[in-house]
Structure 1
């Protein structure tokens, strides 16, 4: 039974002297991060072409059991509707080639589609999934509300992913939208994070969860309790979940991940966690 926990980044100014010492060079922080967490969501590949040598440096900085979850380039997903299909295909295959040397440390690669991609793009999404050539898992996140109708469109979407052994990415942004935006981090999160229904359906063996926590940590308990039950269910079904925990400013994200994992442990006596946060005076002063 294994749950991969990770953040949306491997370094944050507020994590200095907690997850890693201030004396540790920035280039080495990924190695220290990987001693605590077992995966990371890498968004840099969404925004730009990351140099192959840089990808290899990241790969060599972490242990064999660590898993990177890279996001597909925006030229494949967010610019899908405005570009010729052969160019989209070319960028998708080039991205796969760049990841090929990293396969032994890859978790579910993410195809993240924007809200403008409605049900009319479903067959194109499936076509991209069908082109996947790597042996490692693939996952898909959609943000158009048509895919959350609990009816024909969502059923076609889920069935298509299941037939292709592709994982659904489940976005849970309920916590950050549960109150008015009373601080800068909530204002920013409510502008940037999608407000979509949370449908925790697994379509393959490596379901992906993206949990966006509220900065008032106790408010998250109700949703963490729900996720602990769902994660235990998936574990008992033989699945291996990947859970990426965010918070509105990401400062408290490691703490939320630890709290969720403790809830899983309480529900599942056969589960043995590998997530242990370091303890320091600096950590206590963050909140």
Structure 2
């Protein structure tokens, strides 16, 4: 039984020399991260499609059971809004082919303006995703959370192709006013939506954003440790991503989340031992 956990990125300045070895060549950064976590959000692909050589290096740095969620490029999800996207989608997926089974799902993050009237477009796009490639959809339009009718219609669209609805939980961030600049930025940029913890498939995906205070972050994820434990007992294979506003501690917190779930479900496999941050010493 395996629980996959990770962060929003695999290279972060705040981790260097403290959690990850430093310096590290670009072609070694994902390998070092993968000694801490067994999944990562592929946010980089949202902003630009990497070169084929870069993608091959990602494959070389990770094992086949590592989970990488590839975010659909912004020009497709936000520019074209999924319409007439066959050619750019095919080109993107062709570049990603060297990753093989590491591509856990195609992550389709949609703008807040993508609402109920766009469900037909979403359905048509999902039916064009190649068979064998999972999709997970992140919506931010309030109607999908506040109107049961539209929630059910979206679930039917996703269910028709076996796609998941990404749970993006920002309730901890907005529970109390921000205490520093990083939290104020999160207040300005993150969607303020109700928590949703209903799994549609056997591979649910959760994105949880905590606070700068580690204690408040762990208190805020209590709902998820219990939910994830239940999903594992049901035979599901969840993936959970832990964020904080500045992400300086998210790598360690992701492992802590894994430890807390493993305490509830002892059959969960342990994570690998992290690489040392410096050379070995005699004492």
TM-score, normalising length: structure 2: 0.91
What residue number does 1:147 align with?
144
Residue from 229, 235, 240 that aligns with 1:238: 235
In the superposition, relative to structure 1, how do residues 22 and 280 fare at CA in structure 2: closer, same or farther (>3 Å)? closer
Distance 1:63 1:4 in 2: 13
Describe the superposition over 1:44-65 as per-residue Cα deviations: whole angstroms up to 9, x where unpaired. Answer: 1111121122111111121222
Residues 200-215 of structure 1: pairs in structure 2 closer than 5 A: 200-215=197-212
Equivalent position SS for 2:203: coil
Q: 1:103 Cα deviation (Å)?
A: 2.1
Deviation, structure 1 residue 266: 2.2
| Partners of 1:134 and 1:274 in 2: CA distance | 30
SS at match of 1:75: helix
Write the distance in 2 (CA, Å) between the matches of 1:77 and 1:12: 26
Give the TM-score, by structure 1 length: 0.90
Alpha-carbon shift at residue 97 of structure 1 (Å): 2.1
For the residue of structure 2 that corresponds to 1:114, the secondary structure is coil
Q: CA deviation at 1:234?
A: 1.1
Contact 1:18 1:279 (8 Å CA) reproduced? no
> Partner residue of 1:229?
226
Note the residue ranges of structure 1 that are not aligned, 5 or more in a row.
Answer: 282-287
Task: Give yes or no for contact 1:36–1:277 (8 Å, CA) kept in 2.
Answer: yes
Distance 1:17 1:247 in 2: 19
Deviation at 1:105, TM superposition (A): 1.4
User: Which gives a bigger RCO, structure 1 or 2 (Cα 8 Å, sep 6+)?
Assistant: 2
1:93 to 1:142, Cα distance in 2 relative to 1, 3 A: same
1:14 aligns with 2:28: no
Q: Where has structure 1 moved over 6 Å in runs of 4 or more?
A: 278-281
Report the secondary structure of 1:259's partner residue: helix
Where does residue 73 of structure 2 map in the other structure? 73
Cα separation, partners in 2 of 1:276 and 1:214, compared to 1, 3 Å: farther
* Number of the residue aligned with 1:157: 154
Going from structure 1 to structure 2, the CA distance change for 1:35 and 1:221 (only over 3 Å counts) comes to closer
Structure 2 stretches of 5 or more lacking a match?
A: 279-283
2:88 pairs with 1:91: yes
- Is 1:173 the equivalent of 2:176? no
**C-alpha distance after superposition, 1:112-151 (max 9, x if no partner):** 0010101011111111111111523211100001111251
Q: 1:272 to 1:101 in 2, by over 3 A?
A: closer
Summarize the Cα distance change of 1:211–1:278 in structure 2 as closer, same or farther, 3 Å threshold. farther
Counterpart position of 1:272? 269
**CA RMSD, 1 decimal:** 2.0
